[in-house]
Chain A
Amino acid sequence: MDKKICTYICTGCGIGEALDIEELSGVVTGEMSQECKTHACLCGTEGRAFLENEKSAEGVNTFTICACSPRVMQSEFDMGDDTITVRANLREQVIWTAGTAEEGQEDTHKEYLQETGSDYVRMACTRASKTEMPEAYEMESMNKDILVMGGGIAGMTAAIEASKAGSKVTIIEKADVLGGKANGWLKQFPMAYPFAELEENSIASMIAEAEADSNITIKTATEVARIGGAPGAFLVTLKAAGTKSEWDAPAKVGVDEQDLIEKGEMEDPNDGLQAYGVANEAADNFGAVVLATGWIPADVSEYEHLGYGSNDKVVTNAEFEVMAKTGKLDGLNRVAFVMSPGGEEHDEDFPYANSVTSMVALKQAKYIRESNPDSQAFILYQHMRTPGNMELFYKGVQQDDGIFMTKASVTGVEGGTVHAKDTLLGEDLDLTVDLVVLAAGMVPTTKDNDTINLAYRQGPAFLDLDLFDGYADSHFICFPYETRRTGIYACGGVRKAMNMQETMDDATGAALKAIQAIESADHGVSVHPRSGDKTYPEFFMQRCTQCKRCTEECPFGALDDDEKGTPLPNPSRCRRCGTCMGACPERIIGFKDYNVDLIGSMIKAIEVPEEDDDKLRILIFACENDAYPALDMAGMRKHKLNHMIRFIPVRCLGSVNMAWIRDALSAGLDGAMLLGCKYGDDYQCHFVKGSEIANKRMENIGDTLSTLGLEPERVRSESVAITDYDTVAGLVNDFVDEIVELGPNPFKGF
């Protein structure tokens, strides 16, 4: 596209009063050699008509809008798909954070403000001239079918719901039949008001529905050997369940391990397996994957005081369900259900229980009562967990006078006697029963196995499983389907112990995300959180040194590599955070509208005054998701920012290339700061690892600066939350004070 650039300075909202607009225009037309126009209110009806006219009559296609924050008036300044809009934030970040001049300082205050405004205009003009029109990535081949792993309630629901939206789905199930755990249930939880009675098991009708659906292909006794490829083009090798295959997903072998293997000092864990990058010609194609491999009953033999494994009167809830289903409850007149294993030590439920085991105990107590009217059930709980409408079921069960429930600390089981303390009966309890049922949890299949079996450079399993005790769960409260593996969505028991209703909702949601990932890949755009972004990282491979940093650091495992270590991008796995770009020491990775040269040029556009303690320049890279909005809000609340600060928004701190910091300091800027999201176990980074990686890089750059003879204190990384708008100004101002203390950058003027 031939660009016709013009800069528009809005003089509304006090910008015209606070800044010398003529001088600002002069910066654009003079040193930036671009056209410049001003308007009293660009976002108003007239302003927008003016801009429309600029597009149609003047042919402007690249609009540099110097007005308010890029976070506001976005649609007002969206001039259409065939145009580029770049914003300079003169309102929130300049005039609203300027504070008021101290008495007698009016002239310097105005001078500083003008300098700040001019720098933002310079940076915006530079960005406009460096930004290119994005073109969506076109996949070489496109497959829109969905693979569902697991044929239980979650898997079948995902398949049926995706099919109803028109998708073709293949369900693979390791067992010989569909149905999963539900095949073994006698009855199921109530699903509709009044939630009072157990329902007949409906799994058979669900299986029949899946089998009758012409969009659904069912492969039982089948497992995934490996999944390679990317959304829209996954390459899936299936195999007979329980067999080994040369196409089994290889374990991750790191750079160091590879060395040891080559020296013969370590056994190759992937001996006999095809390398991860080899494409199996016979593999099946899919567009997206739903992981619904469910759970297995937890082992409870570690709780010796409860006697499981040594006392034949003690069984788990899963075993009891089999007894009920197969009609083996005869002769059981008194049954105790133990919800919590901690005795007097703690009041937690069994691990991996969630609230499901409370519900299961209530259900199984009803089984006993229904099988024998004279029977009694005893439920010993620490906390009865029946959230939401399940409370109504609990209430219903309470009406049954053959079911006794009490809070209790179960201290031990001996023979047929359950010992309990701290009960609601006002006394300790020694309960003689025919059977003791332990409320064992539901362990996700991902806990001890790779399960998803990816043939990815970063290894076969989901990452960060330890954070979720082995569940393939998401860390995002707002975005529960987001994980680090694009196009693969977990649902049901593999993600959390869930009841049937929750499982069906979750599976339906996962089916939507699968369809959405396919549509996004087909249109060549990103999925969450930069949904719809047409840009993608492009690599100038001739200069790649195979350092492997990009392939290692990508939070989403988007990059595979060849034998030499040259990255092989998979754009439909990519979330467009730019962490690869930040990682690359050769600066060969970039986006059409966001790259090392573009930001580097913006930095160089900042005017660095000759040595003057009152005119230092501090560069701050602010994460556009959280830090930048917090700064905007600080502006709205008129918190004063030091006039020496210049902000550049970044997609994610992970995208910050350390070259920018070196460039800044060698250009004479006096300090640099990274403002991004909290990292660690409770990370808030929308790209999972970006802020953490950036922080690590900053630790190393401190060393680099020392070798240059610069104080490492000149660079810093800080975490802020979007709500830190009342403290962020203090945080950055303090940093400026520290830099002032250090004095000007000695490289200034070189």
Chain B
Amino acid sequence: MTDEQGTSGAILVVGGGISGLTAALEAAEVGNDVFLVEKNAYFGGRVAQLNQYFPKLCPPSCGLEINFKRIKDNRRIRTYTMTSVTAVSGGPGNYEVTLETTPRYVNSNCTACGECADACPDEMDNEFNFGMNKSKAAYLPHEMAFPRRYVINKDALSDAGAEAVKASCKYGAVDLDMATESKTINVSSIIWATGWTPYDPTKMDNLKFNESDAIVTNMMIERMAAPGGPTDGKILRPGDNKEPESFGFVQCAGSRDENHLEFCSYICCMATFKQMTYIRERYPEAKIYVFYIDLRTPGKYEKFREKLMKDENSTFIKGKVAEIIPESDGSVTVVAENAVTGEKIKQNVDMAVLATGMQPSLAANGTPVTLDTDPSGFVNSNPETGILSAGCACRAADVVTSNQSATAAALKAIQVSRRS
């Protein structure tokens, strides 16, 4: 029994990041019905956390704004947040999919006025900012969040907090009795666009992520540099809020390593050059050391690299980092061997940035249903079965390439709809 009847040939897109949005919109703008489900409370996925894109240094929210506008203008797309796929049955052209929506505890009466967050006494780690600050237990995930509707984390809400948020809402939007809902839909194909997760830095013992506040990930730098981030755009050392005078970038933190991710994560070199521009904007004199195996900035990214390699206060060392040693003054020492000179380097820096790799989210979090994946956890796309993949669920890639692959996946899905 299907609760939500799409017209025949509907497409399910799992994941509402840039690839999922692209696949859903491109298919819908051809005229197909699309279900777009996202497990977070907002669309935009990983790119929503980025301050800027390389090499243009433009804000991802600019393109997301256009995509959200496209969604609002298109009645063929039905969107579901806080929703996951829990079961898939049937076959190509006619899959029955069970979706499960966890409670937001805020219903459609929400006007996004923000009174509940103001009134809420309870705080929790802000997950969007990798725990670098707190958010209220009644919260908007971030400024640009779409849909613009508040969320309540009931686990973080005290009894007094529950009373306070209920009392604060004049519109009856707070509903703490909301329960998990399940529904089934029928679709002809499924595009997995579940994206990537930063590789868990604690898995690399030698990099000591847990042992010093001075060791951060490149995704944390993105949030710090973002104007709406935990530090309002300042890049400060967590813990003591020191303005770092020196930075060490540790490339391939987890990537190109058979003990961790055997593939190359494609974007980390460009991301580091981009983050060098963030640092330069804030600290013109800071010393920057980049430890790399190869600088993979091919094609149009080469100009971007050339510009930044001219930076007089930056040093590039070909050599994989062997170890990071936390120092008592809050700094860290990065240890590596220069592969060209053979020299052993011990470089003390105020902050070490791990260019952590891109792990397919389905590998990091587990697949909800049986899927044909490769050993790294990337989903093999199969036009015959109509089980497709797009973006970084499919392979490590930058945003441009992800969107090309998402547009391609949309056509593959349409083909399934049209032949059934």
Footprint of B on A, CB under 8 Å?
A: 12-14, 41, 43-45, 68, 72-75, 91, 161-162, 164-166, 192-194, 346-349, 353-355, 358, 381, 383-392, 395, 407, 422-424, 426, 468-469, 473, 475-481, 496-497, 502, 504-509, 511-513, 515-516, 519-520, 527-529, 531-532, 625-626, 629, 633, 636-637, 678, 682, 684, 686, 721-726
Contacts and interface: CB of A to CB of B under 8 A. Distances in A.
Contacts of B300: 468-469, 473, 496
Interface in B13-45: 18, 25-26, 29-31
A348 B295 CA distance: 10
Interface stretch (B68-76, B187-195, B328-336): B68-76
B418 A165 contact: yes
Interface in B292-309: 294-300, 302, 306
B67 interface: yes
Contact of B295 (A353, A383, A476): A383
A44 B81 CA distance: 20
Contacts of A423: 340
Contacts of A468: 300
A681 B380 CA distance: 38
A568 to B, nearest CB: 27
B318 interface: yes
* Most A Cβ at <10 Å: residue of B64, B294, B418: B294
B66 A385 contact: no
Given A354-B299, A479-B63, A682-B56, A74 B109 contact: no
A507 B405 CA distance: 10
B98 to A, nearest CB: 25
Given A479-B63, A725-B228, 18 more contacts: A44-B171, A68-B112, A164-B415, A192-B374, A389-B378, A407-B340, A502-B401, A505-B405, A506-B404, A508-B412, A512-B30, A636-B143, A682-B56, A682-B57, A686-B66, A721-B59, A721-B62, A726-B233
Given A512-B30, A516-B26, A531 B74 contact: yes
B131 interface: no
Contacts of B62: 478, 625-626, 684, 721-723
Nearest to A721: B59
Given A390-B264, A505-B405, A497 B299 contact: yes
B58 A509 contact: no
A508 B414 CA distance: 12
Contacts of B414: 165, 512, 515
A551 B53 CA distance: 33
Contacts of A407: 318, 339-340
Nearest to B147: A72
Contacts of B299: 353-355, 496-497
A304 to B, nearest CB: 22
B73 A531 contact: yes
Given A72-B148, A477-B56, A480-B404, A389 B395 contact: yes
Given A165-B414, A512-B408, A686-B66, A723 B109 contact: no
B298 A385 contact: yes
B411 A509 contact: yes
Nearest to A14: B113
Given A348-B302, A348-B306, A502-B401, A45 B109 contact: yes
A721 B18 CA distance: 19
A41 B109 contact: yes
A355 B296 contact: yes
A469 B63 CA distance: 24
A44 B63 contact: no
Nearest to B68: A71
Interface string B176-209: 0000000000000000000000000000000000
B238 interface: no
B408 A531 contact: no
Nearest to B417: A165
Interface centre among B31, B64, B375 (most CB of A within 10 A): B31
Contacts of B266: 387-388
A355 B232 contact: no
A535 to B, nearest CB: 13
B228 to A, nearest CB: 7
B9 to A, nearest CB: 12
A388 B171 contact: no
A13 to B, nearest CB: 4
A391 B401 CA distance: 17
Contacts of A422: 340
A725 B229 CA distance: 12
Given A354-B299, A390-B264, A682-B56, A722 B61 contact: yes
Nearest to A686: B66
Given A478-B63, A479-B63, A722-B62, A68 B30 contact: no
A147 B280 CA distance: 48
5 contacts: A74-B73, A165-B411, A392-B263, A509-B405, A684-B56
B264 A502 contact: no
B127 interface: no
Most buried by B among A165, A355, A386, A505: A505
Contact of B113 (A13, A166, A479, A520): A13
Nearest to B149: A72
Contact of A480 (B170, B173, B375, B403): B403
B399 interface: yes
Looking at A388, A481, A629, the one whose CB has the most chain B CB atoms below 10 A away is A388
B411 A391 contact: no
A355 B266 CA distance: 11
B226 interface: yes
Given A422-B340, A636-B143, A391 B407 contact: no
Contacts of B232: 726
Contact of B111 (A43, A193, A358, A480): A43
Contacts of A476: 63
B239 interface: no
Given A165-B415, A424-B339, A13 B111 contact: yes
A478 B66 contact: yes
Contact of A726 (B72, B144, B227, B400): B227
Given A383-B294, A497-B299, A44 B172 contact: yes
B396 interface: yes
B374 to A, nearest CB: 4
B242 interface: no
Given A41-B171, A508-B412, A511-B411, A388 B72 contact: no
Contacts of B226: 723
B125 interface: no
Contacts of B70: 528-529, 531-532
B66 to A, nearest CB: 5
A362 B257 CA distance: 20
Nearest to A387: B266
B97 interface: no
B244 interface: no
Nearest to A682: B56
Interface string B313-341: 00000100000000000000000000110
B211 interface: no
| 7 nearest A-B pairs in the assembled complex, by CB-CB distance | A478-B63, A509-B407, A508-B408, A354-B299, A512-B411, A193-B374, A355-B298
